[in-house]
């Protein structure tokens, strides 16, 4: 069977929400005094945008085949990632078959290894990889989840990330992950406030609802251990990304020091099979949370997930919208998924990558049927109302 070869790869930049979900307007819960590694500087404590969390914007990668079919994907990376895609990665695709995604991934990774390996470059590689899977699905007229082995369950169930787990419970989600608002620089007072917020949510949500803290790399081992032990009284299910992603030793120690039954999770800022191998071999966590648009794309996630499965580690991707949904539905060791509440007050369900995608499915009553994914590729279109800017060509 012959497939049309890849004619052109294009990279665009878009501002305003979407895959760069931290790029929101004023008054959004996601930018309201959240603990970060920059919170030790008082001038950067109130707003993550103040230190540049949204500086990159969304990267849109389009891959056009010789027959005119276009696959696309969105991720974070903006203009610098667009440069890498156009000036460096495109050469490994154009003129080749879209079925050769293993070879293409290998060439993208090893062709950039001398300046890449993690972060922005792997975001760019992920964007290309996801656009390639979208193209393959469109050419084969099948949803990506069919190409990954098919659904292992009829529906996805979701926990919600946002400032209002109590509202998430009413909306049918299985749990609520709250941002941690105060880090070590705010001392004992801040720690008490964190615990008070958890206590309030436990009171409102009842005993059995999952409650988690997202610590966004903000803590040190001592603070994280103390937080975990105080949070145990309120049934905290997991403590997420407590430490720097480079501190594998700290995570291994935290996992040992955490109260029995409380899960330690991390990995949204980790990348590739080698990064996740480190997390797993060092026994850093109970759940790994690769972002599909940052870890290397679906091609790499398949390898990460197989490794995790063999060790009894769950893979619950960070955010990632449709790129997560098509993956999670195919994997036994990914029993549920994350839904990021992007409504400014976390009081209603809106598509995670709004407004960039058309047809982006959302959970109803905390669930999404596999059949909602039954469209070619990742099943979404680029919203024509969103302005694309192509800063580089090749």
Ligand X SMILES: C[C@H](O)[C@H](O)CC(=O)C(=O)O
Q: Which residues are catalytic?
A: 318
Which CB sits closer to ligand X, 162 or 376?
162
Residue 30 binding partner per list Mg ion, ligand X, none, with a CB distance cut-off of 5 to 8 Å that depends on partner kind: ligand X
- Contact criterion met (CB below 8 Å) for 359 and 375: yes
> Is residue 175 a contact point for ligand X (CB under 6 A)?
no
Using DSSP, state whether 125 is helix, strand or coil: helix
* 338 annotated as a binding-site residue: yes
**Shortest CB 359 distance to ligand X, Å:** 22
Query: How far, in Å, CA of 321 to CA of 307, rounded?
Result: 23
Which CB sits closer to ligand X, 112 or 289?
289
* 240 annotated as a binding-site residue: yes
Q: Which of 18, 57, 293, 319 binds ligand X (CB under 6 A)?
A: 319
Contacts of 360 (CB under 8 A, 6+ apart): 321, 322, 351, 352, 353, 354, 380
Query: How far, in Å, CA of 268 to CA of 22, rounded?
Result: 14
> Is residue 28 a contact point for ligand X (CB under 6 A)?
no
- Contact criterion met (CB below 8 Å) for 219 and 242: yes
Which CB sits closer to Mg ion, 118 or 138?
118
* 203 annotated as a binding-site residue: no
- Contact criterion met (CB below 8 Å) for 39 and 158: no
- Contact criterion met (CB below 8 Å) for 69 and 4: yes
* 204 annotated as a binding-site residue: no
Contacts of 235 (CB under 8 A, 6+ apart): 202, 207, 211
Q: Which of 216, 276, 336, 339 binds ligand X (CB under 6 A)?
A: 216
The token duo for 281 is 């071999």
**Shortest CB 21 distance to ligand X, Å:** 7
**Shortest CB 366 distance to ligand X, Å:** 16
Which CB sits closer to ligand X, 30 or 132?
30
DSSP 377: B
* 154 annotated as a binding-site residue: no
Residue 34 binding partner per list ligand X, Mg ion, none, with a CB distance cut-off of 5 to 8 Å that depends on partner kind: ligand X
> Is residue 268 a contact point for ligand X (CB under 6 A)?
yes
> Is residue 291 a contact point for ligand X (CB under 6 A)?
no
> Is residue 318 a contact point for ligand X (CB under 6 A)?
yes
* 186 annotated as a binding-site residue: no
Which CB sits closer to ligand X, 214 or 270?
214
**Shortest CB 53 distance to ligand X, Å:** 8
- For strand 357-358 and strand 381-382, is the pairing parallel, antiparallel, or unpaired? antiparallel
Query: b/e map of 95-134 (b: 16 or more CB within 10 Å)?
Result: eebbebbeebbebbbeebeeebebebbbbbbbbbbbbbbb
Residue 69 CA neighbour count, 13 Å, CB half: 21
Phi-psi region of 71 (alpha: psi -120 to 50; beta: other; left: phi over 0): beta
**How big is the site for ligand X, counted in residues (CB under 6 A)?**
11
Binding site listing: 22, 48, 214, 240, 268, 338
Please report, as ranges, the residues that interact with ligand X according to CB under 6 A. 30, 34, 161, 179, 214, 216, 268, 318-319, 338, 340
């Amino acid at each position: 069977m012959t497939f049309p070869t890849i004619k052109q790869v294009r990279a665009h930049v878009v501002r305003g929400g979407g895959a760069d979900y931290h790029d929101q307007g004023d008054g959004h819960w996601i930018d309201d005094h959240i603990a970060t590694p920059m919170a030790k500087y008082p001038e950067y404590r109130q707003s993550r945008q103040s230190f540049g969390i949204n500086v990159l914007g969304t990267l849109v990668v389009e891959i056009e085949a010789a027959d005119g079919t276009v696959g696309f994907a969105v991720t974070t990376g903006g203009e610098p990632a667009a440069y890498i895609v156009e000036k460096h990665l495109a050469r490994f695709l154009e003129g080749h078959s879209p079925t050769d995604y293993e070879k293409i991934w290998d060439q993208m990774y090893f062709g950039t290894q001398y300046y890449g390996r993690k972060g922005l470059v792997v975001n760019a590689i992920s964007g290309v990889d996801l656009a390639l899977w979208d193209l393959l699905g469109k050419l084969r007229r099948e949803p990506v989840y069919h190409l990954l082995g098919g659904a292992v369950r009829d529906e996805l169930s979701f926990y919600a990330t946002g400032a209002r787990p109590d509202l998430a419970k009413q909306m049918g989600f299985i749990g609520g992950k709250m941002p941690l608002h105060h880090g070590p620089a705010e001392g004992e007072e801040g720690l008490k406030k964190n615990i008070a917020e958890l206590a309030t949510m436990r009171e409102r949500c009842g005993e059995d609802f999952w409650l988690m803290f997202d610590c966004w790399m903000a803590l040190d081992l001592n603070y994280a251990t103390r937080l975990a032990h105080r949070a145990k009284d309120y049934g905290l299910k997991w403590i997420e990304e407590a430490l720097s992603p480079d501190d594998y030793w700290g995570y291994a120690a935290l996992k040992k020091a955490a109260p029995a039954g409380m899960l330690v999770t991390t990995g949204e800022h980790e990348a590739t099979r080698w990064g996740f191998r480190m997390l797993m071999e060092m026994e850093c966590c109970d759940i790994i949370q690769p972002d599909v648009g940052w870890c290397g794309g679906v091609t790499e996630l398949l390898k990460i997930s197989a490794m995790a499965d063999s060790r009894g580690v769950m893979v619950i991707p960070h955010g990632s919208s449709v790129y997560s949904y098509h993956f999670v539905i195919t994997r036994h060791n990914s029993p549920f998924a994350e839904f990021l509440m992007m409504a400014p007050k976390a009081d209603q369900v809106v598509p995670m990558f709004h407004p960039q995608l058309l047809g982006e499915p959302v959970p109803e009553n905390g669930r999404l049927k596999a059949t909602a994914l039954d469209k070619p590729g990742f099943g979404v279109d680029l919203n024509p109302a969103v302005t694309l800017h192509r800063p580089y060509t090749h």
